[in-house]
């Protein structure tokens, strides 16, 4: 019984770390989605889509929730999302090349954000059912 209690406490602690490490990325995504016309048109919740994107990204990262390495990856993804220009995006990719293992892998990670967003928006639209006027 004691071991079960300890295991449950560890799970809650790791979940808390996981949420904390993802905060910057979640905030960046929500800010980006608040002005997204597709989300407005389909009446999608920016926070729900952001959570889906984070889940998708989490599945591609090394380690497990609470692993200290993951926080650096989430910070890099937040920088990708916050890039305002192509030159800023390239600088962010260059700064992240060591973390991801190469410039090519960092670029692929940055591009994957768009893929995750499209996947999550599609899922969210499907879950809302038919729209009026469609």
pLDDT in 10s for each residue of the chain, 134 residues: 544 333 343 343 444 444 666 889 999 999 999 999 999 999 999 999 999 999 999 999 988 878 888 999 999 999 999 999 999 999 999 999 999 999 999 999 999 999 999 999 999 999 887 655 44
Residue 12: what pLDDT? 39
Domain ranges of the chain: 24-127
What is the pTM assigned to this prediction? 0.79
DSSP string, 28-87: HHHHHHTT-HHHHHTT--HHHHHHHHHHHHHTTSSS-TT-HHHHHHHHHHHHHHH--SHH
């Amino acid at each position: 019984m004691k071991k079960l209690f300890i295991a449950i406490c560890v799970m809650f602690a790791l979940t808390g770390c996981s949420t904390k490490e993802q905060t910057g990325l979640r905030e960046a995504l929500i800010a980006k989605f608040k002005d997204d016309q597709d989300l407005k048109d389909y009446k999608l919740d920016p926070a729900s889509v952001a959570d889906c994107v984070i889940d998708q990204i989490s599945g591609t990262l090394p380690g497990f929730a609470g692993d200290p390495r993951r926080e650096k990856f989430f910070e890099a993804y937040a920088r990708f999302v916050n890039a305002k220009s192509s030159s800023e995006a390239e600088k962010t990719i260059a700064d992240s090349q060591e973390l991801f293992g190469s410039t090519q892998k960092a670029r692929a990670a940055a591009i994957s954000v768009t893929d995750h967003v499209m996947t999550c928006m599609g899922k969210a639209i499907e879950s809302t059912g038919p729209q009026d006027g469609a």
